[in-house]
Structure 1
């Protein structure tokens, strides 16, 4: 995988950005009305960490065909992983938003942009410290997956960790790849993320 230039930042700015990402995530998880917590925290975090370089990832995505391809790739992998893990005896918790699509549909774009600001923020932060894109993407996927642990807790640490790494972690890898290949555009990964969640929630809301 080819290398990309790093966004300009410093250790202190990255630390400040991480604090606001964490605060935004905690608000989202613990305060019922703070559904935009991660979105707001993410915007502040990016301004602190990357300043004007933040705009480098906000370009209109190229290769738009990669967006539906990313959606299909995740849905196929998700179905296969689900089938295999059921055969192995795992009973994973469903999406907490299942059956609520109608009541949260206008919140979804902001909530998922918050998740993109976090996932891509970790990727770009690691990249700025000299890690390769692959290593940075794996770190992003690991943290992104683990942040879903409480949402998908099923009573077993092994089952829950397997769930969030194999589904949410793999999803992050796909979103990161789309981000890179659509011209380092956070809109590319966001569009993919929104479509994946809308399709998944449409089926579970029936």
Structure 2
């Protein structure tokens, strides 16, 4: 994944084309147009994400994105470290919003209904990982080529990726109040994205955060 930041020469035009493709995929995933697109919706973000990466980074970019996990501190350690961080950040944000600010938080519509979507979850969450890392990597690439400061580029990419990832969940967690919903998705979903992003950057692949995301969501949706 490092190569997607410091080796590829991403143009702004290709980055924008990829973003439009992802926007179309997200629209198809969240809107019922007809029976065909409704059946396709669990996979539309994944498909559009793969296309966006190919348009922007080429087929070699896909290979680098899905490279073998290679965290120098150990892949198993990466898994437990970042799934724990995800849980801690999410729990802390939830406690703060509900018991300190006294916000009413909407539950995920699929909570307690995990069996109805369990077969589609890997494809749906791969779509979420693709759109999140697309934002992170394209921004980081463009910033790195201007500054040659990869750490700064990664931090800015992480911030924007977390914000967009949170905002994509607005309709899912909308509780009738736009402000409390924004606080919910930016603090809870956004903070989870921090851990997913760090896991991917440390392991140099999208595979590790995808595994963490799938397991975390399966646990969360089963017991919430």
TM-score normalised by length of structure 2: 0.85
In the alignment, which of 80, 90, 95 is matched to residue 83 of structure 1?
95
In structure 2, how many angstroms separate the alpha carbons of the residues matched to 1:120 and 1:38? 13
Moved more, 5-14 or 146-155: 5-14
Q: Counterpart in 2 of 1:117?
A: 130
Q: Which of 91, 100, 119 is residue 113 of structure 2 equivalent to? A: 100
Cα distance in 2, alignment partners of residues 7 and 142 from structure 1: 25
Q: Residues 34-56 of structure 1: CA distance to partner in whole angstroms, max 9, x if unpaired?
A: 11110111111111111022321
CA root-mean-square deviation: 1.7
Cα distance in 2 for partners of 1:10, 1:85 equals 40
Runs of 4+ in 1 over 3 A off after TM superposition: none
Residue 58 of structure 1 corresponds to which residue in structure 2?
66
Q: Is structure 2 residue 210 aligned with structure 1 residue 202? A: no
Question: Mind listing any 5+ residue stretches in structure 2 that lack a counterpart?
Answer: 33-37, 145-152
Unaligned 5+ runs, structure 1: none
- Conserved? CA contact 1:8–1:53, under 8 Å: no
SS in 2 for 1:96: coil
1:20: how far off? Answer: 1.0
Deviations 1:109-168 (A, max 9, x none): 000000000000000110121151001110111111111111110111110000000011
How many residues align? The count is 202
1:81 offset after TM fit, Å? Answer: 1.8
